[in-house]
């Protein structure tokens, strides 16, 4: 009986359904945790390749945790690699722009404030906030993705927004 369950993951149709179900959400979670510079979508793709290579060894009920763990470990490895790369690389700024110096300065200041404020949030608040505000996910969808109740998600988003507004005065000017 269990042998037939393991073969289901190796079925191309079932595997493609797994991909449709988990790929985008997993990619978004990695994006919010680690940023876009580390190519979270590529890590999700690689995790699915590893799943395909090991499909006969993984139980269907363990697929979600396998994908999450594999892709997270890949992201952590990439973080370590990027630290090494940054030690040996200098980023050259652009020499030209169409924006005024004042606008560029204000934009940089705002982005620094926003990144700082987002990094000051607890991880669960940041993930819930970004899934809601950037991805447009409903509170129920976020609750299901994160394995918590809707009330917990609402609290996390409210707490994140309150902290962001207290740190960034431009967000209060509506």
DSSP assignment of 66-106? HHHHHHHHHHHHHHHHHHHHHHH--PPPPS--SS-HHHHHH
Residue 160, pLDDT above cutoff 70 = yes
Q: How far is CA 5 from the centre of its chain?
A: 30
Give the pLDDT confidence score for residue 172 in this predicted structure: 74
**Tokens of residue 7, six digits:** 């073969």
Could you state, in order of their start, the residue ranges of all structural domains in the chain?
2-88, 101-167
Determine the average pLDDT of the residues in 69-92. Answer: 78
**pLDDT, tens digit (0-9, with 9 covering 90-100), for 34-50:** 877 778 888 899 999 99
Around Cβ 54, how many Cβ atoms within 10 Å? 13
- Whether the per-residue pLDDT at 154 is higher than 90: the answer is yes
DSSP H helices in 89-149: 101-120, 123-133, 139-146
Q: Which class in CATH covers the domain with range 101-167?
A: mainly alpha
Give yes or no for residue 166 having a pLDDT over 50.
yes
Measured CA to CA in angstroms, residue 159 lies from 114, 128, 167 at distances of 15, 10, 12
Q: Which residue has the higher pLDDT, 132 or 84?
A: 132
Contacts of 98 (CB under 8 A, 6+ apart): none
Tell how far CA 24 is from the center of its chain: 10
Contact partners, residue 148, CB within 8 Å, separation at least 6: none
Residues 65-79 as b/e (b if ≥16 CB within 10 A, e otherwise) read ebbbebbbebbeebe
Output the pLDDT for position 76: 86
Flag whether the pTM goes above 0.75. no
pLDDT over 90 (residue 62): no
Q: What percent of the chain has pLDDT over 70?
A: 89
């Amino acid at each position: 009986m269990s042998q037939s369950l393991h073969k289901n993951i190796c079925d191309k149709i079932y595997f493609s359904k797994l991909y449709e179900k988990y790929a985008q959400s997993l990619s978004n979670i990695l994006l919010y945790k680690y940023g876009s510079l580390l190519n979270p979508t590529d890590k999700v793709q690689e995790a699915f390749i590893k799943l395909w290579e090991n499909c006969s060894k993984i139980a269907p009920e363990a697929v979600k945790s396998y994908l999450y763990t594999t892709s997270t470990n890949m992201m952590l490895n990439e973080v370590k690699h990027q630290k090494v790369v940054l030690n040996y690389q200098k980023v050259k700024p652009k020499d030209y722009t169409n924006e005024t110096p004042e606008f560029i300065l204000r934009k940089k200041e705002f982005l620094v404030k926003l990144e700082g404020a987002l990094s000051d949030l607890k991880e669960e608040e940041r993930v819930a906030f970004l899934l809601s505000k950037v991805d447009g996910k409903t509170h129920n969808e976020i609750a299901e993705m994160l394995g918590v109740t809707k009330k917990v998600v609402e609290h996390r988003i409210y707490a994140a927004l309150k902290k962001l507004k207290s740190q960034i005065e431009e967000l209060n000017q509506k």
